[in-house]
Every structure is written in structure tokens, then in C-alpha cells.
């Protein structure tokens, strides 16, 4: 009499494994389809909040200096006192902002003054790919993107 190996007979067949893999794939697809729009919306909301914070700091800078930081000075002028200021005694000891935020994809926000799309200044991000142009997650977002809201 031949003994059956209990370990060999208690395993899964290839068909059963494939069925489980297909079910997991379907579930992952359903989750991804439902989560991606919320993730994109969360990124947009973070950018919008960052632009609001940076704009407030830029307006405070403007109130003291009567000009916005130059493109060369950049957003760092809100954190660290630039060399050439009209009224250096008005510059806050800790700067106008505690920390310069980065976009949701880990890139620094870009700054132009005077702005090309917004009269005073442009603050913008090139999106996830950090390349100008694109759509979806790669969409360029700037302070002009949220003006109508």
C-alpha cells in the first residue's frame, strides 16, 4: 500500500491560485479607481492651502517693502532676510513664514515676480512630473488656478 503524502494533497491547485490572483486584481482595480480621484483632490487642496499661506506672507512682505521679492530673491526672501531691502528694520526676526512648503510631489514651488499670468507674482508647480505642461497628476497648478473659486 502506497502512503499518500499529506503535504502534497493539502496544497492549492494552479486553478485555485489563479482564481485568487484574479479576485485580488479585481479588488485592487476597484480600490484604485475609487481612491485616485480623492488623492488628486487632496493634492490640489494642499497646493491651494500652500498658495494661500505663501500669498499671505508675500502680502506682508509687500506691506513693509512696497515691492514683492524679486524672482532672484525667490520665496526664500520670506524665510531669510535678503541683502537689499528698503526697510530692513521691519523684516521680522523669524521671517514672514516658518517654513517654505514644497508641493505634494516633493518639489519646490516656483516663483516669478512680476508674474506672467498673475499681475504681481506667480507661484506655481509643474505637478508630479516637474515638467511644464501635462494633465491629471502632471497638471501645472499656479496661484491663478484657484482665483475663480
- Number of domains the chain contains: 1
44, part of any domain: yes
Any idea which residue has 479588488 for its cell? Answer: 27
Per-residue confidence (pLDDT) for residue 106, from 0 to 100: 92
**What does the alpha-carbon distance between residue 12 and residue 8 come to, in Å, rounded to a whole number?**
9
> Which pLDDT tens digits describe the chain residue by residue (149 residues)?
555 555 555 677 888 889 999 999 999 888 878 777 777 788 889 999 999 999 999 999 999 999 999 999 999 999 999 988 999 999 999 999 999 999 999 999 999 998 888 778 999 999 888 888 888 788 888 888 776 55
- Look at residue 2 in the predicted model and tell me its pLDDT: 57
Chain position carrying cell 502534497: 8
Residue 99: what pLDDT?
Answer: 93
Q: What is the CATH number of the domain that holds 47?
A: 3.30.700.10
Sheet holding 122-125, edge to edge: 110-112, 122-125, 141-142
Q: Say what the pLDDT of residue 53 is.
A: 95
CA atoms within 13 Å, Cβ hemisphere of 82: 19
Does residue 77 lie within any of the structural domains?
yes
DSSP symbols for 40-54: HHHHHHHHHHHHHHH
Q: What integer pLDDT is reported at residue 139 of this predicted model?
A: 84
For residue 51, the enclosing domain spans: 13-142
* CA torsion angle 122 59 109 96 (round to 10): 160
Report if residue 147 sits inside a domain: no
Contacts for 6 with CB less than 8 Å, ≥ 6 apart:
none
Q: Is residue 2 part of a domain?
A: no
How high is the pLDDT of residue 9?
A: 58
Question: Helix or strand or coil: residue 125?
Answer: strand
Whether 124 is in a domain gets the answer: yes
Amino acid at each position: 500500500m502506497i502512503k499518500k503524502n499529506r503535504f502534497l494533497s493539502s496544497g492549492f491547485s494552479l486553478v485555485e491560485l489563479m482564481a485568487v490572483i484574479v479576485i485580488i486584481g479585481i479588488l485592487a482595480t476597484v480600490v484604485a479607481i475609487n481612491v485616485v480621484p480623492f488623492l488628486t483632490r487632496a493634492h490640489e487642496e494642499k497646493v491651494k492651502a500652500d498658495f494661500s499661506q505663501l500669498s499671505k506672507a508675500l502680502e506682508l512682505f509687500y506691506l513693509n517693502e512696497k515691492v514683492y521679492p524679486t524672482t532672484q530673491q525667490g520665496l526664500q526672501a520670506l524665510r531669510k532676510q535678503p541683502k537689499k531691502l528698503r526697510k530692513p528694520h521691519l523684516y521680522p526676526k523669524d521671517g514672514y513664514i516658518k517654513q517654505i512648503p514644497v508641493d505634494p510631489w516633493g518639489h519646490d514651488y516656483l516663483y516669478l515676480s512680476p508674474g506672467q499670468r498673475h499681475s504681481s507674482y506667480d507661484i506655481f508647480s509643474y505637478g508630479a512630473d516637474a515638467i511644464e505642461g501635462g494633465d491629471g497628476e502632471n497638471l501645472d497648478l499656479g496661484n491663478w488656478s484657484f482665483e475663480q473659486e
